[in-house]
Amino acid sequence: MSTPTTGEQAYAAERETTEGRVFTVTGGDWDTITEGIDPLSNEKIVVNMGPQHPSTHGVLRLVLELEGETVTECRPVIGYLHTGIEKNLEYRNWTQGVTFVTRMDYLSNMFNEAGYCLAVEKLLGITDEIPERANTIRVMFMELQRIASHLVWIATTGMELGAISMMLYGFREREYILDIFEEASGLRMNNAYIRPGGLSQDVPEAAITKIRDFLKYLPKKLKEYEKLLSGQYVWHKRTQGVAVLDVTGCLSLGITGPVLRSAGLAWDLRKTMPYCGYENYEFDVPTATTGDVWGRYLVRMAEIRESLKIIEQTLDRLKPGRIMVEDRKIAWPAQLALGVDGLGNSLEHVAKIMGQSMESLIHHFKLVTEGFRVPPGQVYVGIEHPRGELGVHAVSDGSSRPYRVHYRDPSFVNLQAIPAMAEGALLADVIAGGASLDPVMGGCDR
């Protein structure tokens, strides 16, 4: 090619094709020509991370604008897992609603159930009538669920940052907890174990034995996790000073849970606004001051140990008694048993119902099919979920079905922090920062 003289075009006019912008070079040095036309140093590209990406915790989509490997803009997009659970609640009675809400945040289903039931009980005005044994078991199972959820976080975050062994260990210990849930409710997940007025059934002695064994087993494993991660150079480099969000940023965005506590604010609804008798338990609220991924790791590890302390106290407080309110117009008449077809009424209980008076049988039929009526009104109940404040806003029009139930899910609110943590950071740190929020998309898309 001949070098163009002054005044000549170094290239023909560009044209857009299906393959992108095309230039026809007529002469001159390639580097000299492209330097003044389309310098790569200023080029920005837009990429999708998700919704199929394994590191976006389900079906989260992040639209990232990159300059090299630096994120200049981040836009979270949700809605790929919308289940319509909140709308479906309006077509089921108040007790049946538990089987829907348990499927929202599928890693913390006991909390979904507890928040919903506390709201229904507040509407009914029976909060103080819940038996002590039922509240104790609720606390026990919520803390087991908190540990299970944090174990999944440590496992998946370890995998995303290169600690593959942690993935295996975290899920191995979680299986122990799911076995306990199965022993008590017949299901590993989506248990529908907590019901308005109490529990679906009492916790069996076999489950209590497994819980006692678990309390001895897990502390040893936590020490192994810390040996694997806490002193590891690569883990430090990937977590310390990464995805920083201070207290002011957290409060501005409504961030709660371990993310807020890692920035130094000891806000925990179990302490500040106790429920289910949490005021009677001794435990600390772990905090950190770094406000980064490392701090969130330290807080969650400490929270697992505090949960173990609470569970041990529940075992000491577990006295014989009822697990459902005495009011037969609310208490679901059930004596459940595990059969080959799963959990259901035992045949002996069905025979007893059928053998009683016709009035008793009619009452059982109406309570199960139609459900109890809840006085008109609206309430808000907040509980401390593994990811932050889980709020339930329940509205009743006086019928046997909810008029409206809306969840304030912490995953949904906490996702607002991703742009604040990601913009200006490297692409690799988007993974660490997003993982440190511990989002579960089943709670976001309801």
Lowest average pLDDT, out of 15-24, 114-123, 166-175, 179-188, goes to 15-24
Number of Cβ within 10 Å of residue 160's Cβ equals 19
Task: Identify the CA nearest to 98 among candidates 201, 221, 194, 214.
Answer: 194
Could you report how far apart the first and last alpha carbons of the chain are, in Å? 63
- Whole-number pLDDT of residue 37: 47
The pTM assigned to this predicted structure is 0.84
375-407 as b/e: b if 16+ CB within 10 A? eeeebebbbbbbbbbbbbebbbeeebbbeebeb
The full set of domain ranges for the chain reads 1-42, 84-330+372-441
Residue 11: band (very low, low, confident or very high) from pLDDT cuts 50, 70, 90: very low
Q: For 66, how many CA atoms within 13 A lie in the half-sphere containing its CB?
A: 17
Query: What percentage of the chain reaches a pLDDT higher than 70?
Result: 88
- Whole-number pLDDT of residue 145: 95
Higher pLDDT, 287 or 65: 287
pLDDT 10s digits, 244-295: 999 999 999 999 999 999 999 999 999 999 999 999 999 999 999 998 999 9
pLDDT 10s digits, 185-227: 888 898 889 999 999 888 989 999 999 999 999 999 999 999 9
- Whole-number pLDDT of residue 13: 60
Lowest average pLDDT, out of 195-204, 224-233, 346-355, goes to 346-355
CA distance 419 to 306: 31
CATH topology for 84-330+372-441 is Cytochrome-c3 Hydrogenase; chain B (1.10.645)
Q: What's the whole-number mean pLDDT along residues 412-440?
A: 90
- Whole-number pLDDT of residue 69: 87
Backbone dihedral region for residue 32 (phi beyond 0: left; psi -120 to 50: alpha; all else: beta): alpha
- Whole-number pLDDT of residue 381: 96
pLDDT 10s digits, 87-142: 999 999 999 899 999 999 889 999 999 999 999 999 999 999 999 999 999 999 99
CB 155 within 8 A of CB 110: no
pLDDT 10s digits, 373-420: 999 999 999 999 999 999 999 999 999 899 999 999 999 999 999 999
CB 271 within 8 A of CB 121: no
Task: Identify the CA nearest to 61 among candidates 78, 47, 73.
Answer: 78
Lowest average pLDDT, out of 164-168, 187-191, 329-333, 424-428, goes to 329-333
Distance of CA 69 to the CA centre of its chain: 30
